[in-house]
Structure 1
Amino acid sequence: MHISFLIHNAYGIGGTIRTTYNLAGTLAEHHDVEIVSVFRHRDVPVFAPSDKIRLRHLVDLRKDSPSYDGDDPDYERPASVFPATEGRYKQYSALTDRRIAEHLRGLDCDVVLGTRPGLNVHIAQQARRGPARVGQEHLTLSTHSGPLKLTLRTHYPRLDAVTTVTEADARTYRKVMRLPGVRVEAVPNSVPAPALEPADGSGKWVVAAGRLAPAKRYDVLIRAFEKVVAERPDWRLRIYGAGAERAKLRALIDKLGLYNHVYLMGPATPLEPEWVKGSIGAVTSSLESFGMTIVEAMRCGLPVVSTDCPHGPGEIIDDGVDGLLVPVGKTDAIAAGLLKLINDDELRRRMGQAALESSARFDPGRVAGRYEELFADLTGRGALRGSLHRTRGALLSSALQVKDRSRSLRKGSAA
């Protein structure tokens, strides 16, 4: 199959970019795959794509490039197709409208996927007849404004399928949106197995990672860690990431006298070497569209203490088995969850092993298999479906082995 992804900027940093590369790279093992980036602002992507993927762009924003497009008069004119209700509307223009339209009308492929609402609208309106049109939702419907929901309700019926990253969001789409004839499927983001030995649970570090943004509630994590330090001053917290909240968080750390226990580490790529230095992952978000960092930590052998916020954590963590779920915004509960794992070495190691095993379900091979089945159904490729059923059988056998190991771990815990 020829599969074409349309993404905002494949040369930047972000969860959507990372998971798109993961999925596209795995699909490229058996299919003809390309990633088309609307924008290009640097010579080399931050995340290295598979050499089996074709990567190209539509608008060049590199000022030292001979193909620089910033001087095109249309670049200063507002977009009319990319919806004004989308958060990145100001980055789009009459130029992007024209380039995306030319790309989609001339696209010869079996499946075209958009990776954000505004690009999904472009695909719904402008993709030529023939390819299966799939719109991916990497955020959640509940976080979109009323006007944007109305825009999507107007244009999404022209898509063949919409995918969400959680079952909870898929249920919301089916309930709230009127999309007759459009398949709504939940397919999680994928995270590859790290090429490192997993954490052994001996390091006295709690690790958190993500944008330093209000929704991540790192202020709550820092206050919770003050309570941890009061009981276990031998443990420390590292927070990886950059963002607008850095100065506020730095001031809070100083105010609480935690400058020797809580460290703002800045961004790190890749993160796997930092995860494996720790023994516990921490997520204190008030809202998550999925929870990539939870899966990343679990794939490195860390149990995660996470707030049970909408939508992802509860679908990733089996509470009390491979991690702990705690109430949103409750400093005492977060501290208690961390201390439960800090004070019980055997429990921490057992949950870490369970996390390592259960997180294998997010392996790119398994996630790509689910997308392949969807694509086969949308394009009517019966022969491909037969091959996929055999692949799924092998994956099911592997999943059952993981389940058996998990069941043994539970029995051992109960004993």
Structure 2
Amino acid sequence: MKITFLIHDIYGIGGTNRTTLNLAAALAGRHEVTIVSVRRHRTHPRFDIDPRVTVLPLVDVRKDSADLADPLLHERSLAFPVAEKRYHQYSRLTDHRVERYLGDAEADVITGTRAGINVYVARFAPPSALRIAQEHLTHDTHTKKLRTQLARQYRDLDALVTTTEADAAIYRAKMRLPGVRVLAVPNGVPDPGLPPADAGTRVVAAAGRLTRGKRFDLLIEAFAEVAAKHPDWTLRIYGAGPEKDRLQQLIDERSLGGRAVLMGVVSPIEAEFAKASIVASASDAESFGMTLVEAMRCGVPVVSTDCPLGPAEIIHDGVDGRLVPTGDRRALATALLDLIADEPARRRMGRAARRGALRYDPSRIVHTYEDLFADLDATRHSRASARHKSKWHGLAAHALRH
């Protein structure tokens, strides 16, 4: 099969890029895979790309690019949803390039990877291709205005794929999409190729973008309790973001200098997780929880807040990690202290985490997608009929009301 992924900017860093590249590489072993990057802002991608995967940029915004002189680049997009966060980076030029590419595409499957790009797929992908929308955020993360726009456009898709069953259930309940298959497929996380972590190290690790929603402040506060009882343990936080200065100030205020350290961005992160005995996450919300799975694949137990929507589908509390109430500093500190005090439990949970994370191996995720492709192809006519019936019923109901 010819499979195309349409993505915002594959040359940057971020969870969607990483998961798309993981899936593309796994599919490339059996299919012809192309990643179409709507934008290109740098010469070389930040992540390694499997040589079997073709990368095609559409709009080049690098310095001295000829596209910068195109007047369409400076006209507002008419197709990308206005309520989408990235709207300011889209233009008539991106509309034109995407429409032209998808119109000429000979792909069997075209997959969008964020809300606005999913709208592009719904509007411009040929009906001969299976049109799939991946949602790497969540239904409730989108504004009400954007959800209204998506509800209209997503009806022309074949499938909507979320990363968790909890989010898929919300879409089924709140966004009526006749003829569209709504299902959850978790992100694939490859084997890091590392020996299991040594649960004897005195390190707690965490990773993610340094934003308020990730609640690294809560983790630092919890670790202050840990440090008071176990002065030989350290906290390493990997990532960058707007909260860096505030978090450093908090570390200084709690006299944790040298004990809690902001390590900056490290990619890939698995080698750093393998140096830790515990990985922690204090997020208020997660659309999936990539770092949790990455840690588990290294054989490291995770202590995470039981936030919407991903952690409870990844961690089996008390078996391969711990779940604690969202926003509860004391519960987070207690869970960390319990594992710190019990090395045999850390080792047992680490082994269970490594086994359990096998369900996220990209080879398994590929089979799930291949089954989806086959099912969507086999049900084209029945789903199209359901879509048309719903459309006519809606028009009839509207006429009766007016």
SS of the equivalent of 2:67 reads coil
Deviation of 1:319 after TM superposition, in Å, equals 0.3
SS of the equivalent of 1:230 reads helix
Give the Cα–Cα distance (whole angstroms) in 1 for the partners of residues 44 and 196 of structure 2.
Answer: 30
SS of the equivalent of 1:333 reads helix
- Matching residue of 1:16: 16
Letter in 2 for 1:39: R
Residue 295 (1) aligns with residue 289 (2): no
Q: Is the 8 A contact 1:105 1:126 kept in 2?
A: yes
Q: Is the 8 A contact 1:110 1:379 kept in 2?
A: no
Give the Cα–Cα distance (whole angstroms) in 2 for the partners of residues 64 and 21 of structure 1.
Answer: 28
- Matching residue of 2:137: 139
> Structure 1: any 5+ residue segments left out of the alignment?
382-415
- Matching residue of 1:371: 369
* Deviation sequence 1:196-247 (CA, Å, 0-9, x none): 1120201100000000000000000000001001111111100000000000
Letter in 1 for 2:14: G
Letter in 2 for 1:9: D
- Aligned pair partner of 1:178 in 176, 186, 200: 176
Deviation of 1:153 after TM superposition, in Å, equals 0.6
Residue 321 (1) aligns with residue 319 (2): yes
- Aligned pair partner of 1:79 in 77, 80, 86: 77
TM-score computed with the length of structure 2 as normaliser:
0.93
Letter in 2 for 1:159: L
- Aligned pair partner of 1:160 in 158, 161, 167: 158
User: How do 1:40-189 residues align onto structure 2 when only pairs under 5 Å count?
Assistant: 40-65=40-65, 68-189=66-187
* Deviation sequence 1:281-315 (CA, Å, 0-9, x none): 00000000000000001111100000000000000
Q: Is the 8 A contact 1:173 1:184 kept in 2?
A: yes
SS of the equivalent of 1:69 reads helix
Alignment RMSD: 0.9
Deviation of 1:64 after TM superposition, in Å, equals 4.0
Give the Cα–Cα distance (whole angstroms) in 2 for the partners of residues 287 and 198 of structure 1.
Answer: 28
Give the Cα–Cα distance (whole angstroms) in 2 for the partners of residues 161 and 80 of structure 1.
Answer: 24
Letter in 2 for 1:186: A
Runs of 4+ off more than 4 Å: none
- Matching residue of 2:284: 286
Q: Is the 8 A contact 1:209 1:240 kept in 2?
A: yes
- Matching residue of 2:199: 201
Letter in 1 for 2:224: E
Letter in 2 for 1:50: D
Letter in 2 for 1:286: D
SS of the equivalent of 1:270 reads coil
Give the Cα–Cα distance (whole angstroms) in 1 for the partners of residues 320 and 67 of structure 2.
Answer: 49
Residue 36 (1) aligns with residue 36 (2): yes
- Matching residue of 2:398: none
Letter in 1 for 2:218: V
Give the Cα–Cα distance (whole angstroms) in 2 for the partners of residues 109 and 92 of structure 1.
Answer: 24
- Matching residue of 1:259: 257
Count of matched residue positions in the alignment of Structure 1 and Structure 2:
379
Letter in 1 for 2:343: D
User: How do 1:333-372 residues align onto structure 2 when only pairs under 5 Å count?
Assistant: 333-372=331-370
Give the Cα–Cα distance (whole angstroms) in 2 for the partners of residues 134 and 86 of structure 1.
Answer: 18
* Deviation sequence 1:8-36 (CA, Å, 0-9, x none): 00100000000000001100100111000
Letter in 2 for 1:198: P
SS of the equivalent of 1:45 reads coil
Letter in 2 for 1:77: E
Letter in 1 for 2:41: H
State the identity as a percent: 55
Give the Cα–Cα distance (whole angstroms) in 1 for the partners of residues 50 and 361 of structure 2.
Answer: 16
